[in-house]
Structure 1
């Protein structure tokens, strides 16, 4: 019974063989479902990537948490630094004021000492010149008195 009109199993299964896209006539068969074939091939691979994707999400969450911790620690450190700076402001201001006052006092004392030295020098020069000026003034006063006396005696005689 083999040679007649009886279809062979191989011929029967050949009808269900995937064929190309619809179009020109081709061999009879079931249209190929390439999407499901690709999905069937890719699903196991993509399932392997699920673990990697979960791991990546976990790493991102941990990174974000660590970044928040670092940011908060930096904020606390900055607040502490600002608080210390504000606390030391008065001390630094007092030190600067004391330094400025000390320098001003030293400058004032130096100016006073130079002024006193200048005054002493002027006094010394004035004392040295005073005797000569007094003698000159006395001589001129005598001269004027003599002239006045002579002009009065000339006026009374005449």
Structure 2
């Protein structure tokens, strides 16, 4: 890289103003600029190469982390599905037990009700039979059939 003094010499007049100087060799300004800019541009090339390698490492790391995350997500989903199956089985078992208990309670209540109906029927049957016989006898007497005779003989 050129020094500060070399930089300033660019702005110094070549000769004192006055009459024309003899023709000289023109300076190659582009070669001077290339020479001046080559070292910083070389540093930029190194920096760009380093940035590229950092990007590649970052992409590899990101890919690896995505794969690990996908594997963990699959494991979590598989675990959740298994837990859901277990919960579903427990819930179905509890519902079946509850339904069986309710059915047994309903059956017991129905049996008690049936026994109560049978008992009421047994206790009421003699009185009802007597009443029905009395009504039939009244009907027979109203038709003119004597009490002591059997139906149609």
Whether TM-score is above 0.5 comes out as yes
Aligned equivalents of 1:130, 1:36: Cα separation in 2: 134
2:108 pairs with one of 82, 104, 113? 113
Match of 1:3?
none
In structure 2, do the counterparts of structure 1 residues 42 and 122 end up closer, same or farther at CA, with 3 Å as the change threshold?
farther
Aligned equivalents of 2:113, 2:37: Cα separation in 1: 105
TM-score scaled to structure 1, two decimals? Answer: 0.58
Aligned equivalents of 1:81, 1:149: Cα separation in 2: 94
Q: Which has the higher contact order (CA 8 A, sep 6+)?
A: 2
Q: How does 1:4-153 map to 2 (within 5 A)?
A: 11-12=21-22, 15-16=24-25, 30=26, 33=29, 35-85=30-80, 91-127=86-122, 129-147=124-142, 149-150=145-146
Aligned equivalents of 2:103, 2:33: Cα separation in 1: 97
**Matched positions, count:** 129
| 5+ residue gaps, structure 2 | 1-13, 16-20
State the superposition RMSD in angstroms: 3.5
